[in-house]
Amino acid sequence: MPEATYAGVPRSKIPWYPIIDYDKCDKCDRCSGEEIECVKFCAHGVFKAVEEQGKRKPIVIKPDACVVFCTSCGKACPTDAITFPPKKEVRDVIVKLREEG
């Protein structure tokens, strides 16, 4: 299977992925459902819930599956614990990689 690309650049070379601030993340303790919001929300399987000290915790398991410049999971997070790299920096990387061919 060929590698996925974005704007002609291999997706694996684009540093776009969610970053979880565990100081803000409450592992969706406030949510009444069984699932952590970001895990449930992302249709691309970027997140996974793992057990840590008896509590569920989201981790990023497939950063390359994240749609470049999508920030929807961050908006779905009830504690604003999900951020992304600066868009300008990522755009600059994409432009540079395209120039390098």
CA distance 52 to 67: 27
pLDDT band, very low/low/confident/very high, at 69 (cuts 50, 70, 90):
very high
What is the average pLDDT across 12-21? 97
Domain, as residue range, for 90: 13-100
Report the pLDDT value the prediction gives residue 6, as an integer from 0 to 100: 94
Report the pLDDT value the prediction gives residue 34, as an integer from 0 to 100: 64
Question: In this structure, what CATH number is given to the domain that contains residue 64?
Answer: 3.30.70.20
Q: Would you give the end-to-end CA distance of the chain in angstroms?
A: 21
| CA nearest neighbour of 40 among 58, 62, 16 | 58
Each residue of 30-55: pLDDT tens digit?
A: 654 567 889 999 999 999 999 888 78
Please report whether residue 79 resides in a domain: yes
Residue 76 near residue 70 (C-beta atoms within 8 A): no
Please report whether residue 90 resides in a domain: yes
Residue 20 near residue 59 (C-beta atoms within 8 A): yes
Please report whether residue 6 resides in a domain: no
Please report whether residue 24 resides in a domain: yes
Provide the domain count of the chain: 1
Please report whether residue 78 resides in a domain: yes
Please report whether residue 8 resides in a domain: no
Report the pLDDT value the prediction gives residue 52, as an integer from 0 to 100: 82
In 16-84, the DSSP E strands lie at: 19-20, 47-52, 55-60, 82-83
Report the pLDDT value the prediction gives residue 38, as an integer from 0 to 100: 92
Please report whether residue 43 resides in a domain: yes
Whole-prediction pTM: 0.87
Report the pLDDT value the prediction gives residue 2, as an integer from 0 to 100: 67
Residue 21: both structure tokens together: 């601030």
Please report whether residue 27 resides in a domain: yes
Report the pLDDT value the prediction gives residue 99, as an integer from 0 to 100: 94
Report the pLDDT value the prediction gives residue 26, as an integer from 0 to 100: 85
